[in-house]
């Protein structure tokens, strides 16, 4: 809790040009940040899903390089970017590199099939650049999230855990809604001509493809500029540490705090399932014209799950363990369809594919909201919280890169299917067990901290009593 004098001081310091003050401005600022961040990022995730359709020959390389550099960046540079440039500066850097990823698709459209070398260079360059920026982007997003929540809690006197639950509901709503919009665009704008289409139909499809890529690129660029102009950084004191510790902070934390590694299988489950869905299901099971619609359904169910569980936690005080387990069981339910049905039964069959994408969406919605709130609860009070937040993109990127490389290079559909279903099932089960262990460790840490604080308070009161007695005598 914070006393009223300190709360009043915080309210006086935090104002905006929109006439808003205190926690109202912090929430408004966070909403603007979430909207711009989400629209920019929505262009990239939509293109990642489309890569296996519009860039079949190099989609595995493109997404593999992106997630690979994303992983290395989160390991080596994410903490450095945030501590050096601040959360907003690192976010702007990441959003700028995302613009290159979107522009790559537009440029490649104008290259001939014979220009394989140039296409490969563009794929590797844009994926590497955006991957480096993405590593710091998500760490900075978690820092901005945590900083905003802590300031909001300080002003209102609420617990940080309660406010992170609120912010963990707000951000996914913007993030997933913008992704939903971007994915729907790829289905509304018909960019593929019928197999036996006329020349006019093929020309129209090509023009639509240019329009789609142009929209994505424009949205990415405009949102980056607006982020620079409109969003106020949430500045907090950052512990001064040597640059070597900034670079290696996440690795050292993984060695010291078992909770970081125990949360890894949960992140791996989402990432590996995501790469399996994008590289295998979207490429082999879903007709290309329906990829956007199924993706939109996935995002819609994710919005529902994040909002529902966020509201449930806020109104009932429900522990975050419940939605975390629900997310794990959703991913396991998603992959269960791969054990039960054949490709022939699943191919473009809405009866089976709708529940598959809905289950994945529920799991993803919880991963985007509750899981990140768990990280903020566990590690938000550390001297270098960015070091802990960097582990999210590192773990996500590591599993994602492995998945895209595997599914982009396994030529046998049967082999890719078996690898996907067994890996996701095994990691999903491990994720449940490891998360429950991490939760017990965190509860024990809280109890230990509460006892230490109480002992310190009693000791302080005893010392004051002794001083008072001495003065009186």
Q: Per-residue pLDDT tens for 313-368?
A: 877 778 889 999 999 999 999 899 888 888 788 887 888 888 999 999 999 989 88
Cα–Cα distance, 368 to 273 (Å, whole number): 14
18-234+245-458 folds as: Growth Hormone; Chain: A; (1.20.1250)
Which residues, in sequence order, are CB contacts of 94 under 8 Å at separation 6+? Answer: 133, 134, 135, 136, 137, 138, 140
Four-CA torsion 400, 404, 405, 409, nearest 10 degrees: 160
Task: Delimit the domains of the chain by residue range.
Answer: 18-234+245-458
Q: Give the C-alpha distances (Å, rounded to integers) separating 239 from 75, 186, 235, 272, 348.
A: 19, 45, 13, 35, 53
Which residues, in sequence order, are CB contacts of 394 under 8 Å at separation 6+? Answer: 71, 74, 75, 78, 135, 250
User: 317: which 2 tokens?
Assistant: 């005080």
Residue ranges of the chain whose pLDDT lies below 50: 1-12, 469-473
Cα–Cα distance, 34 to 122 (Å, whole number): 29
Cβ atoms of 175 and 164 closer than 8 Å: no
Q: Per-residue pLDDT tens for 170-216?
A: 888 898 889 888 878 877 887 776 667 777 877 787 788 889 889 99
- Closest C-alpha to 312, from 324, 300, 299, 297: 324
Cα–Cα distance, 110 to 89 (Å, whole number): 33
């Amino acid at each position: 809790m914070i006393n009223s004098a300190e709360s009043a001081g915080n309210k006086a310091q935090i104002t905006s040009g929109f006439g808003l003050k205190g926690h109202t401005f912090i929430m408004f600022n966070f909403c603007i940040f979430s909207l711009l961040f989400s629209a920019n990022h929505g262009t990239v995730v939509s293109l990642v899903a489309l890569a296996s359709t519009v860039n079949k020959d190099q989609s595995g390389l493109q997404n593999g390089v992106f997630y690979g550099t994303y992983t290395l960046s989160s390991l080596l540079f994410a903490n450095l970017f945030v501590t050096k440039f601040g959360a907003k500066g690192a976010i702007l850097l990441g959003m700028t590199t995302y613009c290159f990823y979107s522009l790559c698709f537009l440029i490649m459209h104008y290259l001939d099939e014979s220009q394989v070398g140039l296409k490969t260079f563009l794929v590797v360059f844009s994926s590497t650049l955006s991957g480096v920026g993405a590593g710091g982007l998500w760490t900075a997003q978690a820092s901005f999230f945590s900083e905003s929540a802590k300031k909001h809690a300080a002003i209102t006197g609420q617990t940080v855990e309660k406010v992170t639950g609120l912010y963990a509901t707000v951000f996914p709503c913007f993030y997933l809604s913008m992704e939903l919009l971007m994915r729907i665009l790829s289905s509304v704008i018909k960019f593929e001509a019928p197999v036996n289409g006329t020349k006019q139909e093929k020309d129209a499809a090509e023009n639509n493809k240019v329009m789609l890529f142009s929209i994505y690129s424009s949205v990415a660029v405009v949102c980056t500029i607006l982020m620079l102009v409109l969003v106020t950084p949430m500045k907090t004191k950052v512990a001064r540490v040597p640059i070597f510790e900034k670079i290696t902070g996440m690795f050292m934390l993984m060695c010291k705090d078992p909770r970081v590694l125990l949360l890894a299988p949960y992140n791996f489950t989402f990432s590996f399932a995501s790469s399996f869905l994008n590289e295998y299901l979207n490429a082999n099971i879903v007709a290309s014209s329906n990829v956007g619609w199924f993706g939109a359904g996935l995002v819609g169910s994710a919005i529902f799950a994040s909002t529902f569980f966020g509201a449930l936690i806020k109104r009932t005080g429900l522990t975050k363990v419940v939605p975390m387990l629900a997310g794990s069981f959703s991913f396991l339910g998603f992959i269960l369809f791969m054990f039960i049905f054949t490709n022939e039964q699943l191919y473009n069959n809405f009866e089976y594919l709708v529940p598959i994408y809905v289950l994945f969406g529920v799991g993803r919605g919880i991963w985007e909201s509750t899981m990140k709130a768990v990280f903020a609860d566990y590690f938000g009070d550390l001297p270098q919280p960015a070091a802990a937040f960097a582990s999210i993109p590192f773990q996500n990127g590591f599993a994602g890169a492995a998945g895209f490389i595997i599914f982009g290079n396994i030529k046998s559909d049967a082999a890719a299917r078996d690898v996907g279903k067994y890996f996701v099932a095994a990691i999903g089960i491990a994720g449940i067990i490891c998360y429950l262990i991490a939760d017990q460790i965190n509860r024990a840490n809280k109890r230990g901290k509460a006892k230490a604080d109480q002992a310190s308070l009693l000791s302080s009161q005893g010392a004051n009593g002794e001083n008072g007695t001495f003065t009186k005598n």
